[in-house]
């Protein structure tokens, strides 16, 4: 059974143009046009054989890049739509005559938020019907307006229709030929065409989240939802150790702490910033600090560890990420970290561009066990939580 899709994307978005001068199907949400959200859902379903996208040729500056993006998929074709929704669907149906299509989905490009499994649900429930459409119940009180009179209507007898709608191809083709001869001025969806042709229509109840983007508020609602859904939380762990050597101070978390020893390392040996850097790299799914800043490279001899941290923060920024919070354990017998906790937090707040409330610093010992217990060095453990934009 050949299954095809016609996506109506030739509209001029007149009701949205008060706020924005781009046809709504080409507005960007999370680096993707509204049209592409629908195309991708049908493209990812292995049951779909053909996808016909009806566009307005006056919009070529908007859809040319999208057309090029999908040019490697033989099943996707862009054709010129009509001056009305019905004309676009007619053109799509006629284009599909050579494809031997058995059933066809009709979908509005301005309804990008449907769930992928709705495609399968419609196919599975078409059964002996000529068509099937997704609907939602009306939850608000429904009233009829006649001149200055309001009359409450029993909402149980009414539903709101959505797309995608699924039809037996030959039946819908015949229905469109019939309604075209009736010269009806306004047909708002293809289930109306099917009704006028007395086709047998089934329905399934669907979520209200499959809303149509008609107004600017609708667009903002969709954008907000996608931005939230496009964010993932990740965790990274950093751990670093540096041994003591002779000296009169140590550098820790970017501040100088007076001490009777120093920390030994190829760079400035800031064990704290090294652990934080590795934690951020880890949360991003990247390699460790030694991969990006090889300790055998003389370029990094005595380097300020802020260079390493800045690189990790840039990579975080490149992925539209941000730090949620950071939990730090400093493990040593000396020096007494608690004396410098406030200075450390203030400096980290500046380095990381996050508030003090997002940073926790705890100092502990190993009860004089191991190398830290023998006062041979310092270990730092860091746990970082980040938000990043999903791929």
The answer to whether residues 270 and 221 belong to one domain is no
Q: How would residue 6 be classed by pLDDT, with cut points 50, 70 and 90?
A: very high
The answer to whether residues 223 and 242 belong to one domain is no
The answer to whether residues 180 and 285 belong to one domain is no
The answer to whether residues 203 and 71 belong to one domain is yes
How many folded domains does the chain comprise? 2
The answer to whether residues 82 and 208 belong to one domain is yes
pLDDT in tens, 187-245: 889 999 999 999 999 999 999 999 999 888 899 999 888 877 777 899 999 999 999 99
What CATH number is given to the structural domain containing 63? Answer: 3.90.550.10
pTM assigned to the model: 0.67
pLDDT score for 193: 94
The answer to whether residues 104 and 172 belong to one domain is yes
pLDDT in tens, 149-200: 999 999 998 999 999 999 999 999 999 999 888 877 678 899 999 999 999 9
pLDDT score for 18: 58
pLDDT in tens, 47-80: 999 999 999 999 999 999 999 999 999 999 999 9
Structural domain ending residue among the three candidates 176, 194, 229: 229
Alpha carbons 199 and 377: distance in angstroms, whole number: 81
Helix (H, G, I), strand (E, B) or coil at 300: helix
* 17: pLDDT strictly greater than 60: no
pLDDT score for 231: 77
- Of the candidates 211, 214, 91, the residue with the CA atom closest to the CA atom of residue 162: 211
pLDDT score for 203: 96
* 319: pLDDT strictly greater than 80: yes
Helix (H, G, I), strand (E, B) or coil at 39: helix
Q: How long a stretch of residues is the chain?
A: 391
- Of the candidates 61, 49, 164, the residue with the CA atom closest to the CA atom of residue 112: 164
Average model confidence (pLDDT) for the chain? Answer: 92
| Cα-based distances in Å from 147 to 140, 144, 151, 152, 223 | 21, 10, 11, 14, 38
Q: How would residue 19 be classed by pLDDT, with cut points 50, 70 and 90?
A: low
pLDDT score for 269: 92
**CB burial of residue 101 (10 Å; 0-12, 13-18, 19+):** buried
Structural domain ending residue among the three candidates 229, 258, 279: 229
- Of the candidates 333, 334, 332, 313, the residue with the CA atom closest to the CA atom of residue 322: 313
The answer to whether residues 124 and 190 belong to one domain is yes
Alpha carbons 240 and 380: distance in angstroms, whole number: 6
What CATH number is given to the structural domain containing 278? Answer: 3.30.1330.50
CB atoms within 10 A of CB 286: 17
The answer to whether residues 285 and 171 belong to one domain is no
* 14: pLDDT strictly greater than 70: no
pLDDT score for 239: 96
Domain that includes residue 346, residue range: 232-389
pLDDT score for 16: 58
Backbone angles phi, psi at 207, to 5 degrees: -75, 150
For 272-295, what is the mean pLDDT?
94
The answer to whether residues 164 and 220 belong to one domain is yes
pLDDT in tens, 374-385: 999 999 999 999
For 292-321, what is the mean pLDDT?
90
Terminus-to-terminus CA distance in the chain, angstroms? 34
Alpha carbons 49 and 47: distance in angstroms, whole number: 6
pLDDT score for 184: 73
Structural domain ending residue among the three candidates 203, 229, 255: 229
Token pair for 159: 């539903």
**CB burial of residue 163 (10 Å; 0-12, 13-18, 19+):** buried
The answer to whether residues 255 and 184 belong to one domain is no
Q: How would residue 12 be classed by pLDDT, with cut points 50, 70 and 90?
A: confident
The share of the chain scoring above pLDDT 90, in percent, equals 80
* 306: pLDDT strictly greater than 90: yes
Alpha carbons 34 and 96: distance in angstroms, whole number: 24
The answer to whether residues 290 and 324 belong to one domain is yes
* 25: pLDDT strictly greater than 70: yes
The answer to whether residues 223 and 262 belong to one domain is no
Backbone angles phi, psi at 79, to 5 degrees: -130, 160
């Amino acid at each position: 059974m050949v299954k095809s899709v016609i996506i109506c994307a030739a509209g001029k978005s007149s009701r949205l143009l008060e706020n924005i001068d781009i046809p709504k199907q080409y507005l960007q949400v999370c680096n993707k046009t509204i049209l592409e959200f629908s195309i991708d859902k049908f493209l990812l379903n292995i049951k779909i054989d053909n996808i016909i996208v009806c566009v307005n040729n006056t919009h070529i500056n908007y859809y040319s890049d999208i057309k090029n993006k999908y040019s490697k998929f033989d099943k996707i074709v862009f054709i010129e739509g009509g001056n009305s929704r019905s004309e676009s669907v007619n053109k799509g149906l006629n284009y599909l005559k050579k494809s031997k299509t058995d059933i066809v989905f009709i979908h509005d490009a301005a309804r990008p938020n449907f769930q992928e499994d709705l495609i399968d649900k419609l196919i599975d429930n078409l059964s002996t019907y000529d068509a099937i459409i997704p609907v939602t119940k009306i939850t608000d009180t429904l009233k009829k307006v006649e001149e200055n009179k309001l009359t409450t209507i029993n909402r149980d007898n009414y539903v709101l229709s959505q797309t995608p709608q699924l039809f037996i191809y030959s039946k819908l083709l015949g229905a469109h030929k019939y309604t075209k001869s009736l010269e009806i001025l306004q047909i708002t969806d293809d289930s109306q065409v099917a009704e006028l042709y007395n086709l047998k229509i089934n329905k399934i109840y669907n979520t209200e989240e499959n809303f149509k983007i008609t107004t600017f508020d609708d667009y903002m609602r969709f954008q907000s939802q996608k931005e939230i859904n496009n964010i993932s939380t990740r965790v990274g762990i950093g751990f670093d150790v540096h041994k003591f050597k002779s000296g009169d101070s140590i550098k820790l978390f970017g501040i100088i702490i007076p001490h009777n020893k120093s920390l030994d390392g190829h760079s400035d040996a800031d064990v704290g910033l090294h652990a934080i850097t590795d934690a951020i790299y880890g949360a991003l799914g990247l390699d460790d600090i030694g991969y990006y800043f090889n300790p055998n490279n003389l370029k990094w001899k005595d380097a300020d560890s802020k260079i390493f941290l800045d690189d990790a923060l840039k990579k975080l920024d490149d992925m539209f990420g941000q730090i949620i919070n950071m939990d730090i354990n400093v493990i040593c017998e000396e020096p007494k970290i608690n004396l410098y906790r406030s200075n450390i937090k203030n400096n980290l707040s500046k380095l990381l561009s996050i508030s003090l409330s997002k940073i926790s610093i705890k100092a502990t010992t190993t009860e004089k066990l191991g190398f830290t217990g023998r006062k041979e060095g310092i270990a730092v453990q860091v746990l970082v939580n980040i938000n990043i934009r999903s791929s």
